[in-house]
Amino acid sequence: MFQPADRLKSVKISASAAMTDKARELRAKGIKVISLSVGEPDFATPPHAVEAAHKAALAGDTKYPAQAGTPALKQAVQRKFKRDNDLDYALDEILIANGGKQIVFNAIMASCNRGDEVIIPAPGWITYADIVLMAEATPVPVACPENNQFKLRAEDLEAAITPKTKWLIINFPNNPTGAACSRAEMRAIADVLLRHPHVWILTDDIYEHLVYDGFEFCTIAQVEPRLKERTLTMNGASKAYAMTGWRVGYCGGPKALIAAMNNVHGQATGGITTVSQAAAVAALDGPQDLLKERAAEYAKRRDKVVGWLREAPGVTCHKPEGAFYVYPNIAGCIGKTSKGGRKIVDDTAFVTALLEEHHVAAVQGAAYGMSPYFRVSYATDMESLREACARIKTFCEGLH
């Protein structure tokens, strides 16, 4: 009988993927499920990016690519970092990989040993901790409470750092809360890190362009240039340009780190799809007006969803600065029973009953390290969001 490797014992299947799979199963039975569980833009990939991929394929750009990324895409990433973040990276300080997830995987696997600690603000993306566990290191969650708008407090970061701390992973705008740090808030985090020169920083800026109400994004090496020599600045094409299926992630960091990550990269997969790289060049170098246009649409959805969810009894909902998620608090629903007879003992029971009884898929807060909450993705059309929120309100009204 097959026995999985020990390293997989503490690694769980993604809760968002699991809920999306359950939604698909119900749809296959003819049930109209509205899925708010997946963090995927509903917009189309920009036409000029699709055209660039088509032209590359027709031109014969279909052979093995350079492992660390094509020169054209690395140069486009170099220009992007300078244009958007005022960061200068040499081409050998840039790596292209199969989505942002592989950037995180490459970095942690290239740097962490058993006993190393990685600080991860919570709530946070499920994958961070699982990759750390796979590398046989130790994830150290640091709570970012709602009363601080789900942001990392400098004093909490300071308290979590030990001589074993290898990395701090930060993701603002954040998945699952949408929280984003102002320059002053990022400055406070940087000041802590300046006092601890052994700590490396991985900043996941994948939601950089999804900020609202005039909020100005900043990344930590931009705020504090002295941290650049131990910062990995990560981004990708998936969220901003609606290119999730193209699988293009990229990062800039110190040359030695990038070389070690490229070594891991070569053993795991090798260079990423040539036509995807051509598409990403077109996206990064092409017209950028669509970013603000789409952000404006997301802001409208956020405002509506927050308003609708606040009408549901037992639910409160913080209005975030960015990303395309909200993270409603359902403390007022815990301990009650649904109309279908399901006891709502925690947020996992809440989202399970919501899916089974009212056919709305969302993700429990426990998956992200903070309860009692659930994550709603508003990266879907307004009518679906309206209907989903109405169903959530009806579900909550039926709790007793």
SS3 state at 187: helix
Vertex 17 angle, CA 134 and 332, to 5°: 105
Residues 204, 295 within the same domain = no
331: Cβ contacts below 8 Å, ≥ 6 apart: 314, 316, 372
Residues 260, 315 within the same domain = no
Domain encompassing residue 313: 6-44+290-397
Residues 90, 112 within the same domain = yes
Q: How far is CA 184 from CA 38, 154, 218, 229, in A?
A: 31, 11, 10, 21
Domain boundary among 243, 264, 285: 285
The pLDDT score that the predictor gives to residue 11 is 83
Q: What is the percentage of the chain residues whose pLDDT exceeds 70?
A: 100
CA distance 46 to 294: 11
SS3 state at 75: helix
Residues 235, 300 within the same domain = no
Does 359 fall in a domain?
yes
307: Cβ contacts below 8 Å, ≥ 6 apart: none
- The segments of the chain whose pLDDT lies below 50 read none
Domain count, the chain: 2
Q: Cβ of 150: how many Cβ atoms within 10 Å?
A: 26
The pLDDT score that the predictor gives to residue 26 is 86
Domain boundary among 267, 285, 303: 285
Residues 29, 102 within the same domain = no
The pLDDT score that the predictor gives to residue 220 is 98
Residues 22, 104 within the same domain = no
Does 377 fall in a domain?
yes
CA distance 357 to 135: 39
Domain boundary among 228, 259, 285: 285
* Mode of pairing for the β-strands spanning 165-170 and 138-143: unpaired
Residues 296, 276 within the same domain = no
Please give the single-letter amino acid code of residue 291.
Answer: L
Does 276 fall in a domain?
yes
The pLDDT score that the predictor gives to residue 24 is 84
Please give the single-letter amino acid code of residue 189.
Answer: I
The pLDDT score that the predictor gives to residue 384 is 96
Number of residues that make up the chain = 400
Residues 80, 211 within the same domain = yes
Does 1 fall in a domain?
no
How is 302-351 classified by DSSP, letter by letter? Answer: HHHHHHHHTTSTT-B----SBTTEE--B-GGGTT-B-TTS-B--SHHHHH
Residues 176, 275 within the same domain = yes
Does 34 fall in a domain?
yes
pLDDT tens digits for 30-71? Answer: 989 999 998 899 999 999 999 999 999 999 999 999 999 999
Residues 11, 160 within the same domain = no
* Mode of pairing for the β-strands spanning 249-252 and 94-97: antiparallel
CA distance 198 to 202: 13
Residues 262, 375 within the same domain = no
The pLDDT score that the predictor gives to residue 197 is 98
- The CATH number that applies at residue 368 is 3.90.1150.10
Q: Both tokens of residue 245? A: 């299926």
Residues 16, 59 within the same domain = no
Does 242 fall in a domain?
yes
Query: With a threshold of 0.85, does the pTM exceed it?
Result: yes
The pLDDT score that the predictor gives to residue 184 is 98
- The CATH number that applies at residue 246 is 3.40.640.10
